[in-house]
Amino acid sequence: MQPDLLARAMQLAIAAALAPRSRILSSFRSADLRAEAKADGSPVTAADREAERIVRETIRASKDFGAHAILGEEGGLEESASLYRWIIDPIDGTRAFTRGLPTFGTIVALEEQTTGRALVGAIHLPASGETVSAAHGLGAFRDGVPVRGSQLDRLEDAIISAPDLAQFQEAGCPELYRTLHTSGFPRVRGYTDCWAHVQAVSGGVDVVVDPGLSAWDIKATEVLIAEAGGRLLLRPSRAAGKVDTIFGSPVLVDALARHLGFEPRVTVGWVE
pLDDT, tens digit, 9 for 90 and up, residues 152-200: 999 999 999 999 999 999 999 999 999 999 999 999 999 999 999 999 9
d(CA 157, CA 163): 20
Residues 39-74 as b/e (b if ≥16 CB within 10 A, e otherwise) read eeeebbbebbbbbbbbbbebbeebeebbebbbbbbb
| Secondary structure string (H, E, C) spanning the chain | CCHHHHHHHHHHHHHHHHCCHHHHHHHCCCCCCCEEECCCCCEEEHHHHHHHHHHHHHHHCCCCCCCCEEEECCCEEECCCCCEEEEEEEEECHHHHHCCCCCCEEEEEEEECCCCCEEEEEEEECCCCEEEEEECCCEEEECCEECCCCCCCCHHHCCEECCCHHHHHHCCCHHHHHHHHCCCCCCEECCCHHHHHHHHHCCCCCEEEEEEECHHHHHHHHHHHHHCCCEEEEEECCCCCCEEEEEECHHHHHHHHHHHCCCCCEEEECCC
Helix axes 215-227 and 193-201, enclosed angle (nearest 10): 10
Do the Cβ atoms of 91 and 106 come closer than 8 Å?
Answer: yes
Q: Is the pLDDT of residue 239 over 90?
A: yes
pLDDT, tens digit, 9 for 90 and up, residues 196-232: 999 999 999 999 999 999 999 999 999 999 999 999 9
pTM (predicted TM-score): 0.95
Task: Give the residue among 64, 67, 88, 89 at the shortest CA–CA distance from 79.
Answer: 67
What is the mean predicted confidence (pLDDT) over 29-42?
89
Pairing of β 130-135 and β 118-125:
antiparallel
Confidence at 267, pLDDT banded by 50, 70, 90? confident
What is the mean predicted confidence (pLDDT) over 228-253?
96
Task: Give the residue among 52, 59, 86, 49 at the shortest CA–CA distance from 70.
Answer: 86
Q: Is the pLDDT of residue 272 over 80?
A: no
Q: Is the pLDDT of residue 118 over 80?
A: yes
Domains of the chain: 3-146 (3.30.540.10), 155-269 (3.40.190.80)
Q: Is the pLDDT of residue 41 over 90?
A: no
Confidence at 269, pLDDT banded by 50, 70, 90? low
> What pLDDT is stored for residue 270 in this prediction?
52
